[in-house]
Amino acid sequence: MMPVNRSYYSFGVTGYPLGHSLSPRLQEAALHASGLAGEYRLYPIPPLPGGQESLEALLASFRQGKLDGLNVTIPHKQAVIPYLDELTPLAAQIGAVNTIYRRGGSLVGDNTDAPGFMADLLKQFPGASAPQSALLLGAGGATRAVTYALQAAGWRVTIAARRTAAAQEIRDSFTFLNQECEVIGLDALPSYVLSLENLLQKQNSIPEGSCPSPLTLIVNTTPVGMTPNTAHSPWPEDLPFPSRVFIYDLVYNPADTVLVNAARAAGLQAASGLGMLIEQAALGFERWTGIRPSFAAMRQGVMPDVESYE
């Protein structure tokens, strides 16, 4: 996109709740590193229908030029769509929006979650470059983005959720990608894991590479474990993790969630969603300004004591 020349930029994020959000620190770091003046504000709006009037008012002010960019998070990634004038092809295919920019007097919805997720997954789990099999926990807007990203890369996906009807709707939305997608209820996780372990035991007697691994990735796409409810995990406490999997938790605050710590304690590799947060935020910043910001500066903005992220 062409740069939007402004002497002062006004960005923000809407969702509910927003007390955990690191986006202001991320985007203000991006502004500073890019030599731009501006601010990034929180616009907490409760779920619809209760928050409908506030959401409409916020988008109207955006359309009038009072904002230069807006992020959208839980629970509005799908709810915001009817109020927009246009969707990018990617956002239309995914059916969820996390970034909005203005084109003239129109509001355009985009999705940077999917490319942001895959970009960080490849950094955290290099084996992800080859299509494999993943288990996703959840059935919300983030699940849609991750499902799309993985299936578009050739992965087989299983979605485990309490709301199986919502998970089935996600599955049915991406049949055009021609990839396998199964839906199970959370109560079916124990039998699912047992079947995986049985498959692994059988594969131990089969030459390596002659058949695909039954599961290599588990992704938490729910907000379970997020600040302030940090004592919880989306994975059942008494259920062992499948063998040889990489655990990716989209929750980024705290950086080390109960899920991530439990996975590492079980001898598995695991990562939080901080890298994805930075990736998708950088893409959003670029949509709004035409400038690709410094990843190192953005990471230092939220975790000043951690090594630079590139």
- What are the pLDDT digits (tens) for 43-86? 999 999 999 999 999 999 999 999 999 999 989 999 999 999 99
- Domains in the chain and their CATH numbers? 9-111+278-302 (3.40.50.10860), 115-272 (3.40.50.720)
Q: Is the pLDDT of residue 305 over 50?
A: no
Q: Which of 66, 77, 123, 202 is catalytic?
A: 77
pLDDT at 204: 61
Radius of gyration of the chain (CA): 20
Tokens of 282: 């950088």
Distant-in-sequence, close-in-space partners of 3: CB < 8 Å, separation ≥ 6: 289, 290, 291
Q: Within 13 Å and on the Cβ side, how many CA atoms surround 189?
A: 21
Confidence of residue 279 (pLDDT cuts 50, 70, 90): very high
Tokens of 98: 């996390």
Which tens digits make up the pLDDT trace of 117-135?
999 999 999 889 999 999 9
pLDDT at 306: 42
Catalytic residue flag (residue 123): no
Question: What is this structure's pTM?
Answer: 0.90
